[in-house]
Amino acid sequence: MIIYNVTVKIDHSVHQEWLDWMKNNHIQDVIKTGHFVDYKICKILIDDEEGVNYSIQYRCNTMKDLHMYQVHDAVKLQKEHTDKFDGKFVAFRTLLEEL
């Protein structure tokens, strides 16, 4: 199982709006692409004056599934996120293999 982890620090000023949008829109749109089997959203438990930190973990069966998402869907969905919360977040992505 492959885990596509997206870590996001979101500004306090838009935190609740972002969290609601992620749960009700963005994550559902990612899952609807059909490349992932499930997801988890976790709050990272650190004190941070600049924002609130989250780890969103999308699980897929193979690297091919992830590649198909990246080629066909990721740019559009990431652009929607950036357009909505531009300047209010930082994000980075990591790949994990579940053993």
Q: What is the pLDDT of residues 67-83, one digit of tens each?
A: 999 999 999 999 999 99
Task: Kindly tell me if the per-residue pLDDT of 39 is higher than 90.
Answer: yes
Domain total for the chain? 1
From the list 95, 93, 23, the residue with the least C-alpha distance to 59 is: 95
CA dist., res. 96 & res. 48, Å (int): 25
pTM exceeding the 0.75 threshold for the entire prediction? yes
Average pLDDT, integer, range 42-63: 95
Residues of the chain with pLDDT > 90, as a percent, come to 97
Amino acid at 98: E
16-29 per-position pLDDT tens digit: 999 999 999 999 99
For the chain, give the mean pLDDT. Answer: 97
| Structure confidence at residue 47 as a pLDDT band (50, 70, 90) | confident
* Range of the structural domain that residue 71 is part of: 2-97
Tell me which H or E stretch contains 21. helix 15-21
Average pLDDT, integer, range 39-53: 94
Amino acid at 95: L
CATH of the domain at 34: 3.30.70.100
